[in-house]
Amino acid sequence: MAAVLRGRCLPRAWLCRKAGQGGGRDYRAALCTELKQPLTIEEVAPSPVGPREVRVDVHFCGVNFADILVCRGQYQERPHLPFTPGMEFSGTVLETGTDVSTVKEGDRVVGVSFFNGMAEECIIDQKMLWQIPEKVSLQEAAALPISYTTAILALEHRARTQPGETVLVTAAAGATGLAVIDVATNILQAKVIAVAGSDEKCKLAMERGAQFCVNYNQGSLKEAVRKLVGSGGVNVAIDMVGGDVFLEALRSLAWEGRIVVVGFTGGNIASVPANLLLLKNISAMGIASGQYRDKNFPVLSKTLSSALQYCQQGCVQPHVGTVFKLEEVNDAFLHVMQHKSMGKVLLSPK
């Protein structure tokens, strides 16, 4: 068996090295050793930091549906087995490489790792770290990188949402759904119709700022939206479910409406009826925020910096629903897979 650290596949012997040979004590990490199987918690020997790298003591790590897809082999990026999942985290700097100039030991930081976050510590390139403002907690910071960058990019960068427009958001009680509500209402001054799968989730979405909420298990989403806004429809739809919910959201759009595909938590990928795009001059687009890492990093960096500042100023407030311990990682995955999560799900190695 091997372990992946910083994207490198290391032999089993590396796990058994004595503390001190790699830069410190052994630490615990969640390992995916076989796809579609439960993760294991193992002691991992530390690796030395490179010149531009930073060792971070991880306090919280986000649990995302994408983490589950990676461990199933169903994500667009497929790291070599075994690997440690975890795409976002917060913590404090333990050690810096010789060429690191952006952070120093003891700084509170939030990072986008894409892999390796579900561990007591991780090593990451300095450019993938952002300092956490004074008024933002480590727990809040860990809830920002994936959900809030996705929300901001979907609403601002892709859909070009304007003040006063109406935004429909599906899976509204999930971490990204609540982030969309937060950004749409408090930053963009848009009106939000939330869509969720239970009355409890609808209640949370309303408490977080949605003007209306539709339980899509209680009838036609299109008809419910029509009753709320009339035949004109909504200006923007942000969909994370896919399948029939996506199609209903698409049919709920107004003339020149925009729909942004974020994911497929419902498991089904719908085909887009091109005639609907034509008849209403509709724009259908997608947002995979992680791809900005390689294709347009300045946009990703600016977006996460904005999310941190919005949180610092009290303009947005991420909702953390559940915090699991590191050794409960499989329970955390199941919690997300069974659609029980409301708000951000975090792991805490502490």
Contacts of 95 (CB under 8 A, 6+ apart): 23, 24, 49, 54, 55, 105
For residue 157, the 8-state DSSP code is: I
pLDDT digits (tens, 9 = 90+) for 5-49: 333 333 333 333 333 334 578 999 999 999 999 999 999 999 999
Range with lowest mean pLDDT among 9-23, 24-38, 139-153, 175-189:
9-23
Q: What is the pLDDT of residue 118?
A: 98
Quick check: 103 and 109 in contact, CB under 8 A? Answer: yes
DSSP per residue over 21-76, as a string?
Answer: SSSS--EEEEEB-STTS--EEEEEPPPPP-TTEEEEEEEEEEE-HHHHHHHHT-SS
Q: Which two tokens stand for residue 189?
A: 């001054």
Among 66-75, 89-98, 113-122, 213-222, the range with the most confident prediction by mean pLDDT is 89-98
> What whole-number distance in Å separates Cα of residue 258 and Cα of residue 276?
12
pLDDT digits (tens, 9 = 90+) for 205-262: 999 999 999 998 898 999 999 999 988 999 999 999 999 999 999 999 999 999 999 9
Please give the sequence-ordered ranges of beta strands (E in DSSP) within 88-189, or none if there are none.
88-96, 108-112, 121-125, 129-131, 166-169
> What whole-number distance in Å separates Cα of residue 303 and Cα of residue 152?
7
What CATH number was assigned to the domain covering residues 2-143+319-348?
Answer: 3.90.180.10
Mean pLDDT confidence for 134-158: 97
Closest CA to 200 of 339, 346, 345: 339
Q: Is the pLDDT of residue 180 over 50?
A: yes
Residue 161 CA: distances (Å) to CA of 76, 98, 158: 28, 43, 8
Contacts of 323 (CB under 8 A, 6+ apart): 60, 139, 345, 346, 347, 348
Our CA angle for 191, 196, 201, nearest 5°, is: 100
Which residues are bridge partners to 129 per DSSP? 111
pLDDT digits (tens, 9 = 90+) for 204-220: 999 999 999 999 889 89
> What whole-number distance in Å separates Cα of residue 349 and Cα of residue 298?
30
Strands 40-44 and 27-31: antiparallel
Residue 194 backbone class (left: φ over 0; alpha: ψ -120 to 50; beta: rest): beta
Cis ω before 82 (30° cut-off from 0): yes
Show the DSSP H helices in 94-146 as ranges.
138-142
Question: Which sequence spans correspond to the domains of the chain?
Answer: 2-143+319-348, 148-290
Other C-beta atoms closer than 10 Å to the C-beta of 16 total: 10
pLDDT band of residue 1 (cuts 50, 70, 90) is very low
> What whole-number distance in Å separates Cα of residue 286 and Cα of residue 262?
6
Q: Is the pLDDT of residue 51 over 90?
A: yes
pLDDT digits (tens, 9 = 90+) for 282-338: 999 999 988 999 999 999 999 999 999 999 999 999 999 999 999 999 999 999 999
148-290 homologous superfamily: NAD(P)-binding Rossmann-like Domain (3.40.50.720)
Strands 121-125 and 191-196: unpaired
Contacts of 161 (CB under 8 A, 6+ apart): 155, 167, 184, 188, 190, 235, 236
Higher pLDDT, 93 or 22: 93
Coil, strand or helix at 80: coil
Mean pLDDT confidence for 334-345: 94
Mean pLDDT confidence for 46-60: 97
Q: Determine the residue type at 121.
A: E
Q: What is the pLDDT of residue 235?
A: 98
> What whole-number distance in Å separates Cα of residue 114 and Cα of residue 128?
10
Quick check: 58 and 91 in contact, CB under 8 A? Answer: yes
Q: What is the pLDDT of residue 23?
A: 53
Q: What is the pLDDT of residue 256?
A: 97
pTM of the predicted model over 0.85: yes
